[in-house]
A = this chain, B = another copy of it.
Amino acid sequence: MSSFDLDAFLPYRLSVTSNLVSRLFARRYAEEFGLTIAEWRVMAVVGADGTASAVAVRARTGMDKAKVSRAVAGLLARRLVKRVAHRGDRRVEPLALTPTGRATFDAIVPRARALEAELAAGLPPGQHAALEAALRFIATRAAALGAEPEGGPD
């Protein structure tokens, strides 16, 4: 009867917490802005970088090709994002926020930050940063141990 406490098992805790948080944000994004998480992530990268191709989005978010492609399609359809030509290489189709997209982005950012703050409210001071550092560490470690990001090597 080798006992085992699932509750204290890191992968499990991670997954439960992540799912709960994802759900929470997914609902907010959907209700307030009509965006899926994937769409919001694309906007976040494009918004932050000013312009970004699907490859860039993929690199930064770890989302797989198909997912990015579908999210972009959704954003294009709602004109939150537009394609800009890439002189020189006609394969890449960089994206940029449209004015509407920029406005939406500017509206989301503070809401997202506020919800994040609510989540972390009550965490002892240094803990928030420590948590992020630990997560980053674990992620690096997991990648090193062979977990390929979504979509894999390609």
| Shortest Cβ distance from residue A112 to the other chain B in the assembled complex, whole angstroms | 7
Question: Residues of B contacting A109 with CB < 8 Å?
Answer: 2, 4
Main secondary structure of the interface of A (DSSP, over half): helix
- A43-74 contacts to B, CB under 8 A, are 44-45, 47-48, 50, 60-62
- Can you tell how many copies of this chain the complex includes? 2
Closest to A107 in B: B2
Encode contact with B along A135-154: 1 for CB under 8 Å, 0 otherwise: 11111011101111110000
Query: Roughly how many angstroms separate A29 CA and B25 CA in the complex, as a whole number?
Result: 30
8 Å CB contact of A23 from B3, B16, B148: B148
A119 at the A/B interface (Cβ < 8 Å)?
A: yes
